[in-house]
Amino acid sequence: MSQCIHILPEELCNKIAAGEVVERPASVVKELVENSLDAQADEIRIEIEQGGRKLIRVHDDGQGMSRDDAFLCLERHATSKIRNDADMFALDTLGFRGEALPSIASVSRFTLRTCLKGETVGTEIQVEGGIVRQAQDAGFPVGTQVEVRNLFFNTPARRKFLRREETEIGHIADIVTKQALAHPQVRFLLKHNGRVLVDARREKGLVDRTGLLLGRTLAEELLPLEMSSGDGLHCRGLIAPATTTRSTTGAIYTYINGRYVRDKVVQHAVLEGYRGLLMRGRYPVVVLFLEMDPGEVDVNVHPTKHEVRFRQQRQVHDFISNAIREQLRKDYRPEHQPNTSSEGGRESVLPVQDGSLEQNRKPAPPEVMSSQADVNARPTDQRNTAEHVQEPLQPFGSQVAQPGKVPAVSSLQEGPESFFSTESATKDTENRFFRNLRYIGQYQGTYLLAEYGQELVLVDQHAAHERVTFERLKRQYFKGRVEAQRLMFPVVVELDFQAASALETVLVDLERLGFELEAFGGRSYNLKAIPQLLGEGAPEKLLQDVAAEVLRYGDSAQIEEQMENVLAGMACHSSVRAHQILTETEVLALFEALDQIDFNAHCPHGRPVVKRFSLYEVERMFRRT
């Protein structure tokens, strides 16, 4: 045989292309909605059945297609959007590859109905697994409807990867949210199994649309942003103040020239704008539209076009982060900065010189300064400092230690080994490491300094508290259920679509997690009780975090592992922050509590709780050895 290479048949090519473009039902919705938007639709109706496994139908009132075009659009690389490669760099449409429709049609039972503006009769074409089965004239209003049934019916491997209905519809709702945010002038209707999930009527603008999709209360907090550079970059949108955060990057919505992107450079730039203002592991809420010369950005670098490449990457990056920072600086007030971080720490501990945010942030409000100075002088005066802490410290039940009753360290033997072991602490081998610390004071409102024999010990108060809360929650959870505490005033929490559908999957587990929740219609829940250990702090945010955590680990993890992750998120939520003044009583209670839990020197997210320096190390720093 002299020839072993052959050209693949068209249907197979389409199937291969589908492998890239059509990952799951949500990707079909994305492609179809983009086509409707490109066709200038005013209204897009999306109907889904069984998470998209059974049916995806997208109907628009856009310009429609002629009979010839209706056939052509099913061919590979058939597009009306570009003609030559120069057009690729002057794009004003979302599509341009001409791959979506043939790809989708190759892995489903596909029906296209369309009628061109100005025509009276439309066209209907039925395709099965990429092969046209039937075509006829059909009465149809101007616009286009694509019906996708039995997705992946002929690619069983793919079909197997489909997740639970709730998960798939969550992804679909997320896609619709992303598109609907960018097009407030278009009506979006999303139905699942006959139930309306999204009905975004044409809104006056971004604020209304954001309120509708992401929640009214959130939208009210968001700060408007608008900025232009001298050289053709423009951005506008809504950004959350640093106090409103999420536990994932899921609420960062960024667009370039109207196209949703999940690009590393853009994302980094956004986070850079918030640098130093958020706790580690917390992320902002941002809806940001960047407009630029299409020639400056290549969108053809990723199958889903979510990643892009900029000609002037640095410039775009800095433009975005400066715009955000500038807006946050305007909004800046000391009480807005409860979690100023210790993160950037290592590289630069000095205030920067340009008069920007860092410098403004540096001095603590005067009252806090003085109470901080007073901590040692009046260790028992808890009230004095308590009013300055941003989030109340949860009392450690009955184990509150008495100040001044710190036992002296007798020897070094009992502490270290058991402390660093990962074994559970049992009654007989109870840890005494923390109880045997001699507390010196608080450094930067973040680290607890103590002496242990000849050692200098630094404890990260947030990590420590998080660990304690996590262990206690876990103990309660695995014993039966986390103790709940009824809220004095139940709160109505409005979640976004993805979060709401994530929660639906774990409603039963939520009860075991110490929540009492009542569906309140749509995406709203009436939250009546929360885990007792977490205090009444910010129940709404807590529930948002739990939903985000479930989403993040939803499909991949075993239920037990998933719950551990959720518990870790909950613990973090409630914990003492960095930059929170603690009284000596509170510190000693925390030390005591640390001794009583099973732990291994790290917070549930892996950061160390404690660092120890030997006398030798300290002396070496001062060249005394």
**Please, what is the minimum distance in Å from the beta carbon of residue 73 to Mg ion?**
9
Rg (CA), the chain: 29
DSSP calls for 247-284: SSGGGEEEEETTEEE--HHHHHHHHHHTTTTS-TT-EE
d(C-alpha 541, C-alpha 244), whole Å: 9
The burial class, CB within 10 Å (0-12 / 13-18 / 19+), for 86 is: exposed
- SS3 letters for 558-579? CHHHHHHHHHHHHHHHHCCCCC
Q: Which does 96 bind (CB under 5 to 8 A by kind): Mg ion, ligand ADP, none?
A: ligand ADP
Choose among 96, 183, 100: nearest CA to 175: 183
CA 55 to mean position of chain CA atoms: 28
Quote the CA–CA distance of 476 and 484 in Å, as a whole number: 10
**Shortest distance, CB of residue 206 to Mg ion, whole angstroms?**
25
Measuring CA to CA, which residue among 567, 511, 570 is closest to residue 545?
570
Distance CA 554, CA 473 (A): 20
Neighbours of 6 (CB within 10 A): 6
* Residue number with CB closer to ligand ADP (36 or 501): 36
Residue 14 binds ligand ADP, judged by CB under 6 A: no
Residues sharing a CB contact under 8 Å with residue 625, sequence separation 6 or more, in sequence order: 616, 619
DSSP labels, 177-224: HHHHHH-TTSEEEEEETTEEEEEE---SSHHHHHHHHH-HHHHHHPEE
Cβ atoms of 32 and 59 closer than 8 Å: no
Least distance in angstroms from the C-beta of 82 to Mg ion: 11
Nearer to ligand ADP, 62 or 241 (CB): 62
Three-state DSSP state, 24:
coil
Name the one range near ligand ADP by CB under 6 A: 12-20, 55-63, 169-177, 469-477: 55-63
Which residue's CB is nearer to Mg ion, number 101 or number 316? Answer: 101
Q: Give the contacts of 307 (CB within 8 A, at least 6 positions apart).
A: 261, 262, 263, 264, 301
Cβ of residue 292: shortest distance to ligand ADP, in angstroms? 21
The burial of 263, by beta-carbon neighbours within 10 Å (0-12 exposed, 13-18 middle, 19 or more buried), is given as buried
Nearer to Mg ion (CB atom), residue 54 or residue 81: 81
Q: Does 27 bind ligand ADP (CB under 6 A)?
A: no
Q: Is 194 exposed, middle or buried (0-12, 13-18, 19+ CB in 10 A)?
A: exposed
Contact with ligand ADP (CB under 6 A): which of 91, 101, 299, 493?
A: 101
Tell me how far, at minimum, the Cβ of 73 lies from ligand ADP, in Å: 3
Q: What is the DSSP letter of 548?
A: H
60 binds, among Mg ion, ligand ADP, none (CB under 5 to 8 A by kind): ligand ADP
Quick one: which of 27, 35, 123, 341 contacts ligand ADP (CB under 6 A)? 35
Q: Which of 46, 55, 73, 239 binds ligand ADP (CB under 6 A)?
A: 73
What residues between 99 and 138 interact with Mg ion by CB under 5 A?
A: 100
Considering the complex, what minimum distance in angstroms separates the CB of residue 78 from Mg ion?
A: 11
Residue closer to ligand ADP (CB basis): 142 or 597: 142
Where in 425-464 is the site for ligand ADP (CB under 6 A)?
none
* Contact residue for ligand ADP among 55, 60, 545, 591 (CB under 6 A): 60
Q: Which one, 257 or 442, has the nearer CB to Mg ion?
A: 257
| Token reading at 337 | 């900065």
In the bound state, the residue with its beta carbon closest to ligand ADP is 95
In the complex, the smallest distance separating the C-beta of residue 72 from ligand ADP, rounded to whole angstroms, is 7
Q: Applying CB under 6 A, does 258 fall inside the site for ligand ADP?
A: no
Of 14, 27, 35, 575, the residue at the interface with Mg ion (CB under 5 A) is 35
Q: Which stretch binds ligand ADP (CB under 6 A): 35-43, 192-200, 215-223, 572-580?
A: 35-43
Pair of tokens at residue 57: 């139908």
Q: Mask: binding to ligand ADP, 137-176, rule CB under 6 A, as x and -? A: -------x--------------------------------
Residue 485 DSSP one-character state:
E
Whole-number Å distance between alpha carbons of 27 and 101? 12
Residue 65 touches which of ligand ADP, Mg ion, none (CB < 5 to 8 A by kind)? Answer: ligand ADP
Task: Please pick, from the candidates 67, 81, 512, 602, the single residue that binds ligand ADP as defined by CB under 6 A.
Answer: 81
| From 89, 96, 153, 332, residue interacting with ligand ADP (rule: CB under 6 A) | 96
Q: Does 79 bind ligand ADP (CB under 6 A)?
A: yes
> Among the candidate windows 91-99, 124-132, 220-228, 270-278, which touches Mg ion by CB under 5 A?
91-99
CB of 152 to Mg ion, least distance (A): 19
Task: Summarize as ranges the residues that interact with Mg ion (CB under 5 A).
Answer: 35, 95, 100
Task: Summarize as ranges the residues that interact with ligand ADP (CB under 6 A).
Answer: 31, 35-36, 39, 60, 62-65, 73, 78-81, 95-101, 144
